[in-house]
Amino acid sequence: MRTLFTDNAYGMPGNDDLGSTSSLLVFAMAGVFEAQPGSVNYIVSAPMFEKVEIRPEHGRRISIEAPGASASKLQYVSSVATKKGELRRIWLSHKDLLRSGSIKIKLSDRPTSWGVDAAPPAMAPQG
């Protein structure tokens, strides 16, 4: 086992995504993730941590706060606020994410109507 699983680039047999799935999981657990790769739109969802900080290399820190967040129970977003005010849609553009500074997410133990009919442009129903 020690020869197959190591801490270098070849350390996981069959690892053909080189961390892509793991990074998606980290962002999803933080409550902000790119649901459609290449779209530059991030979906806001219920995080599993009360506070997460993202530190872009050439940008300001982004704080995601969700009091009461827990990985041990199913939770729903009831509201989201950034420095620009309440977010009525379920997504942020990459530019909005980088400029947000802080994202405050209120959670509920029951389904809410937040984000209903507010899909990002590339995922909105066409008709």
In this predicted structure, the answer to whether residue 81 has a pLDDT above a threshold of 90 is: yes
Highest-scoring range by mean pLDDT, 18-22, 43-47, 54-58: 43-47
Residue 1 has pLDDT above 70, yes or no: no
Q: What pTM value is reported for the model?
A: 0.80
Q: Is residue 124 part of a domain?
A: no
What CATH number corresponds to the domain at position 38? 3.30.2080.10
Residue 65 host element (H or E)? strand 62-65
Decide if 67 is inside a domain.
yes
Name the residue range of residue 45's domain. Answer: 20-116
Residue 34, SS3 per DSSP: coil
Query: Does residue 13 lie within any of the structural domains?
Result: no
The CA distance from 63 to 109, in Å, is: 23
As for how many domains the chain has, the answer is 1
pLDDT of amino acid 77:
96
Q: Is residue 62 scored above 80 in pLDDT?
A: yes
Residue 11 included in any domain: no
Residue pair 30/54 in contact (Cβ under 8 Å)? The answer is: yes
Both tokens of 86, joined, read 């309440």
- For residues 69 and 48, the answer to whether their CB atoms sit within 8 Å is yes
Burial class of residue 119 (count of CB atoms within 10 Å of its CB; 0-12, 13-18, 19+): middle
